[in-house]
Structure 1
Amino acid sequence: MRIHSIRSVSLNPAPTGPKEFRAGLALLIIVCAIVFADALTPAWFHSRSLLLLVPVAAALTSSVLITTLTVAGAMGAFAYLGWSRPGAAFTSGYVILLVGCLVAALFVAAVREQQRRRLVVSDQVARAVQRAVLRPLPSMVADLRVAEAYLPAAEGALIGGDWYDVQPSRYGVRVVIGDVSGKGLDAIDASAALLGTFRDAGYHEASLQEVARRLEVCMQRHNVWARTVEGREYDGFATALLLNFSDGHMDVIDFGHVPALVVNVRDGAPTEVEFDSALPLGLGELAVGPPAVKRLPFRVGDLLVLVTDGVTESRDVVGDFYPLIDRLRAMAVDGPGPDRLCDALIADVSRYRRRGPADDAAIMVIQREAAVMIEQDSDARRLYEAPPMDW
């Protein structure tokens, strides 16, 4: 149930499928039924008038091809009734009305098909943007098993202001999860800028504090660019947790984000991990020094749960906040892996929310496993080490 997961789909609109052919067949059966009903009713009762509705229904539900076939069937039925029942009243006005409805049905079907193609292309562009901003994460990085899920606030949206990623490096596996202030395109724009900086700095920089500094500079530069170049009144900031996993421990820098939770492998009890919180990204000019790095053990089998405030601030019908620790305690009894726990958590949050999501919600679950050896000549090693070059 990875809400944000992307499937590769062609930009070309899908051809007419079995469902549409079945719909067309049903419409033609209705045409035959109308003809049959007209033959059994008196001449003064014009059941054939219902033929006007069939092409309209086809235009609203089917492709141009199916609508054309339905129009042809309706016109054939009309001609047959005029030939087989000459006593029935066929006025010129009635004929003009019928022909007008058939032509209008074809026009509506053509416009609908064009709009459908535009929607298909727009959907694929949105998915490409999503892949660029929130790329699919590997299920296994070094000795870490990773699961993630994303629940956007806006109905039909694919991405929002929450951002997260995993970046392998020779210095350890870097992980980030954060939440940009604001909503809409401004938040997405800032998220994309921060993620791009994290992927570059997380790979190249040896110091986690230097990665943090690069993210701070990125947020400030993004705000300046939005105001001076694009003319937007934007002065955003972002909360975040920045982590580095290496040699059985994790180093963490907290930029005012929702606290992380560690589920102990021994008793399954979730514990909230407190860090020395720094100011959110974008407000670093107000800080008196660099953010503090806290080192914690991360044993084999332990689960680390990272969320955004869209999870902890979800409310039920009576207005109570989502009890993350209590729900995690119940879910962790059976010792689920990251995938099962992540799916169960995002599903539980979805059910808990009162009137749909009020804010984006992102979840990452990370579990340390026994050390994984990477083949020296394996292509996966290039995730951690720069390729050899002569320049």
Structure 2
Amino acid sequence: MLWLTLEWVAGIVGLMFISYGLLPSDPGGAGIIKIVKELIGVDAFRVLFVSCGLLLIGGSVYRNFYSHSALKAELRTALDDLNSDNVHVRLYAIEEILSISRKSRRLHPRAMQALASYVRSRFPVQQISGRVVSVSRRRFGRPQADTRHEREPDKHKFAQELHNRPRSEAAIDAKEAVCAIAKRRRFFDDPRVWIDLSETFLPSISLKGFKIGQVSFAGAFLSYARFDKSDLRSAGFDGATLNDASFESADLRNASFFGCLAHRIYLDGADLRDASFFGADLYDACIQKADARRASFFAANLWRLDGGTTNFAGADFDSSNLEGANLLHAKGLKKAQIFREHGFGAKVDKNTRLPWSTDKELRASGLIH
């Protein structure tokens, strides 16, 4: 998208005036231009055009410098207001920072990094019990029975904590800051710099339909979060907690979910092309009607995965766990993707449903007993 301010337009028009006035031959023209040229002469006409061009360029440069200085001062004030004890002042400051970042490409990176730093310091994941953030689990297969019973008494306590914390003032402005980051002008972003929202506690946050882009949620707590129909291309969720999170119809091309904890994650209709779920725990995940071509599920726990009619052409299932997975209607899935030589194939059992396999065939191949 091309973003032209009034200053840039004036500068371009000024250059056109100068170019027209410096033409080696007699500049033509019609109407009022021809009348003015006849009245003052060709040489004076050239001087007039060049002078107007220089005036426009000079005004453009001055205006641009003045505008940048004013916005820089406004940004400094807004950043100071983020430390206010009044939640309404902080919310207004967040809106101001977003507005400034949308007006100035030069101030955009600083504004976005400031908002990200504010969220990390205001709402760090360390505030919550380690039992929530680092849930005990097995890498492959269903969690052990004793582990599940051990966690059961805390289930309602955790749910109550998640229910209450988003109502706190800290949660309100932290989530507003995240939404402001999601609303930024992405074409102002530096493609070499990611916005860092790692190790943040943002359960139940709703970012539906946003163009989020290159943001790192590494190690963040995002259980029950909603990213439906969002543009998350190249986003990073490495090591994040995404239990019961929803990414319905989201664009997750080239996104990374390395080692994330994502029980019951909902990826129905998502674009997962070239996404990486290396070592991720996708216990009871739902990936129906999605496009997972060339996605990597290497060493991932896909126990009881519901694959629906997802296209898995070229996807990597080496060393993954597909026990109880339902891939009966999956598209593009080849035997070579599941059954590898030298023990590097996927782990299946009698409850695994594949497009071509029967229990008899699986037993004959020695994959189940």
Could you state the TM-score of these two structures normalised by the residue count of structure 2? 0.25
Tell which has more relative contact order, 1 or 2 (C-alpha 8 A, sep 6+).
1
